[in-house]
Amino acid sequence: MKSTLATLCAVLLAGACAKHETQSANPTKPATTATSSTSPVSKTAKEEPELASVRTDVGDPMPAYAAKYLDGKPLDLASEKGNVIFLNVWATWCGPCRFETPELQALQNQYAAKGLKVIGVSVDEGETAAVKTFVTEQKITYPIAVDPEGRIANLLQTTVLPTSLLLDRNGKIVWRQIGAIMPNDSKLKAAVEKAVAESR
């Protein structure tokens, strides 16, 4: 019975994440409204008016951002230049975020040797126990940073989760998506393969 219910839940979740919005080459203004593949960012995230003029569209350089990984080590995106970075903003309570986790792990597994680094940034509030438990249960091997104040969401000017960016080796945003990553996403694959093929 539990197996049947689990299967049904998985099917329903996959259906709920069927729609997404992608921004790539020749972008229009990125979407800011939630679809069925998204969850709203917590309303308790602190607003930072000074970030209102910061641009994070495709073609823009990624602004400075720093946080801490789950193990306490610092994350500084500026120091990651030279790597292709897939930045994923998520939370454990976000259904679409949980749904896409296997796709992110698959990206890491397939392209890590070519210079891709998947970095997850959790905006879960409070203690990190839930994040650590999820990472263990899902066997996530890519690094997870924590941002309980949701500063990354303010920086990216997004109010929904998940939100993902692909940064080239120079730190430029070359792909952006609001919504869950779907299996066999041809546009994402093309963007990743182009980015890892280019030298800094």
Class of domain 2-197: alpha beta
Alpha-carbon span 168 to 172, nearest angstrom: 5
Residues of the chain with pLDDT under 50: 1-35, 43-44
pLDDT tens figures, 105-116: 999 999 999 999
Q: Is 46 helix (H, G, I), strand (E, B) or coil?
A: coil
Whole-model pTM: value is 0.79
Supply the pLDDT for residue 129. Answer: 97
Q: Domain coordinates of the chain in residue numbers?
A: 2-197
Q: Provide the 3-class DSSP secondary structure of residue 4.
A: helix
State how far Cα 142 lies from the chain centre: 12
The pLDDT of residue 11: 36
Distances (CA, A) of 164 to 2, 22, 50, 121, 194: 33, 10, 22, 10, 17
Number of other CB atoms surrounding residue 49 within 10 Å: 7
Distances (CA, A) of 198 to 43, 65, 80, 174: 39, 24, 16, 12
Q: Select from 196, 177, 179, 172 the least CA-distant residue to 187.
A: 177
Query: 23-46: per-residue pLDDT in tens?
Result: 444 433 333 334 456 666 654 455
